[in-house]
Amino acid sequence: MKIRSRKLNIVASYVATFFLKVLFLTVRVEHFRTVEDGTPYERPSKSQRFTFSMWHDQIVLAVFSLRTWSLAGLISQHRDGSYLADSVLIAGIQPVRGSTSRGGAEAVSEILSRPDLHLAITPDGPRGPRRVMKEGIVYISSRSGRPIVPTALVCDRYWAIPGNWSDMVIPKPFSRVVLIAGTPIVVPSELPREQMACWAGLVNTEMGRLELIAHRLLSGDASAATEIDRTADPEYRPKSESRVSQAA
């Protein structure tokens, strides 16, 4: 059921946010990150900001698992996005309205005007398909100078709330959640559009790799944490981009 009254929507957002905050008080959260400030869950100590890539079905885990700092969230201008925008604002995250299909230029302009904020994006939004990476996150990263941080957010016991094109994961009481902020991917400034698909593929592959690591951590394999950081890996860039650099 969709709530068309603006006032009722705000009330519903406050109620939902309250109950989710109470729920997450029972959840045990383990957080891993590879670089200083390369996570939305620590107060930034330097000027560099990042673009965090997460899947649409992980939004609740991202918003409520831990307190966020200096974070904006890119949210669709469609009506469904209005409900989410109210909730994330109540939770302390600045909504930026836009998507690759609607309001993208305005969203880029707004985030460029706020160099103090990290940005979180669900690159399979706003209408799916589920977990299919779009190139908009690469464009925004290139134009804003915010490296992309691929993430993984998983829990061991949860409800999957059905949506139009993607479920929403909500952890059950007393469950465990693992959050991983991976190695930042520095996208070249003013990257040509014909090269964006390669970089989007790299982000997609890395998110899948980190999710497998997160599930290993949930299963008790603590050694998996040593595989999170890709800083020393010379192959950690699109192969087509590597060939261009070598040719130059």
Q: Measuring CA to CA, which residue among 124, 122, 135, 133 is closest to residue 195?
A: 135
Residues 6+ apart with CB under 8 A from 177: 27, 28, 29, 30, 61, 65, 153, 154, 155, 171
User: What is the end-to-end Cα distance of the chain in Å, rounded?
Assistant: 56
Q: What is the band of 109 on the pLDDT scale with cuts at 50, 70, 90? A: confident
Say if 4 falls within a structural domain: no
Of 34, 2, 85, 11, nearest to 228 by C-alpha is 34
Q: Check which CATH number belongs to the domain holding 112 and give it.
A: 3.40.1130
**pLDDT tens-digit series, residues 182-232:** 999 999 999 999 999 999 999 999 999 999 999 999 999 999 999 999 988
Round to whole Å and give the CA distance between 176 and 29: 6
- Residue 221 forms part of a structural domain: yes
Does residue 12 lie in a domain region?
A: no
Give a yes or no: residue 20 inside a domain. Answer: no
Domain-located, residue 17: no
Q: What is the pLDDT of residues 155-175, one digit of tens each?
A: 999 999 998 888 999 999 999
Among the residue ranges 13-17, 73-77, 186-190, the one predicted with the least confidence is 73-77
pLDDT at 126: 77
Does position 101 have pLDDT exceeding 60, yes or no? Answer: no
Q: Percent of the chain at pLDDT above 70?
A: 88
Dihedral sign of CA atoms 79, 80, 81, 87 in order: positive
Q: Measuring CA to CA, which residue among 217, 82, 88, 58 is closest to residue 150?
A: 58
Calpha distance 180→149 (Å, rounded): 10
User: What does the pLDDT look like over 18-65, one tens digit per residue?
Assistant: 999 999 999 999 999 999 999 999 999 999 999 999 999 999 999 999
Mean pLDDT score of the chain: 88
Q: Is residue 169 part of a domain?
A: yes
Domain count, the chain: 1
Amino acid letter, residue 13: S
Inside any domain, residue 187: yes
Domain that holds residue 239: 29-247
Confirm whether 216 is domain-assigned: yes
In this predicted structure, the answer to whether residue 245 has a pLDDT above a threshold of 70 is no
The per-residue pLDDT for 7 is 78
Query: Is pLDDT of 66 > 80?
Result: yes
| Cis peptide bond prior to 126, omega within 30° of 0 | yes
